[in-house]
Amino acid sequence: MKYIYYLIMLLFIICTLPACSYFETGEIQNVGFITDAEIDNNPWTEQGYQAMQEIGDKYDVDVFYEENIETMHQVQQAVDEFVNDGVNLIYGHSNIYGEYFMTLAESYPDVHFVYVNGGESRENVTSINFNAHAMGFFAGMIAGHMTSSNDIGIIAAYVWQPEIEGFFEGVKYVNKEADIKFDYINDWNNVDLALEKYNKMEQQGVDIFYPIGDSFSESIIKKAENDGLFAIGYMMDQKEVAPDAVLTSTIQHIGELYKSVADDFNKQDLEGKIYTYDFKDGYISLGELHSSIPGYVKIQVEEDIEEYIETGLLPNEY
């Protein structure tokens, strides 16, 4: 009888600990956020972090975060700490976390993992993806119209980014004479190398740049403005960064999407699958168009975006 009594007491103590009650409702208890960069001075990461704060305020929960998390070991440590703090919804602010979350998910069945732009999912792992091809296409249309030298440059973080092909197609759709120079740095965060690529392209006569990397786009846009050239903003509306240079921006509204994901999770509507979002969903848009862009170009781009929202077809697919 003593054995049974102590066993009952032990179970009672365990179930009064935070970890037991944290996961019993299926609703948000606390939120975790991990990023492979620093939050300060990185607009993409700042936007995600700000969304976490708003989620915390809305649901009256705590938000825990870790910066510069890149390896499996670091992710494992961060997740362990989050779970000990009662976190049951974890956001990984990079596509690198897909593989790590897939490995960890079985060990944490009461935690839902969310990450961006990946191709893997399971019951408690959700991938949220942006259709970046389309936004690249419409930005390419503007660049193709606005180049004077017919030399346009793309500086990407990685060769696989879908914006690249879309941008190529958009430029060629309106300007078959344009020469598109392309290079990539194989890193999200190497600003110095990105600027080296910029200087090389600038010497080759490029007059419009599309920097496809959140950590280095601002530096390149500012450099373009100093050199009297144009650029396309990336991830956020970067007009204020360099008003004279930014023709438009390809915007991914990650903060709004994170908040929507939290709402779905709290209602138990968030599925472990791959979600893809586009212009029609309101999570992708172009930023304000530069005043120097001719009216007929603005009308054409705006009408083509509306047609794309209605039909799902880009202009070169009609």
What angle do the packed helices 191-203 and 217-226 form, to 10 degrees?
30
pLDDT number for residue 74: 98
Average pLDDT, the chain: 92
In this prediction, residues 151-175 reach a mean pLDDT of 97
Any residues with CB less than 8 A from the CB of 291 and at least 6 apart, and which?
Answer: none
Model confidence at 312, pLDDT cuts 50, 70, 90, reads very high
The helix or strand, by DSSP H or E, that contains position 165, with its residue range, turns out to be helix 162-174
88 vs 17: which has the higher pLDDT? 88
Query: For the chain, give me the number of helices (H) and strands (E)?
Result: 11, 12
Report angle CA 176, 181, 187 to the nearest 5 degrees.
140
* pLDDT exceeds 90 at position 6: no
pLDDT at 19 over 80: no
- 4 or 91, higher pLDDT: 91
Q: 40 exposed, middle or buried (CB, 10 Å; 0-12, 13-18, 19+)?
A: exposed
149 has a pLDDT exceeding 90 = yes
Please work out, in degrees rounded to the nearest 5, the angle formed at the alpha carbon of residue 12 by the alpha carbons of 7 and 15: 125
What pairs with residue 116 in β-bridges? 128
Contact present, 278 and 239 (Cβ < 8 Å): no
Using only C-alpha atoms, the chain has a radius of gyration, in whole angstroms, of: 23
Q: How far is CA 35 from CA 46, 49, 83, 94, 197, in A?
A: 10, 9, 17, 7, 26
Report the predicted TM-score, pTM, of the whole model to 2 decimal places.
0.85
- pLDDT of residue 68 exceeding 50, the answer is yes
Which tokens go with 11? 């179970």
pLDDT of residue 26: 65
**Which range has the worst mean pLDDT, 4-8, 124-128, 290-294?**
4-8
Give, in degrees to the nearest 5, the angle at Cα 123 between 122 and 129: 55
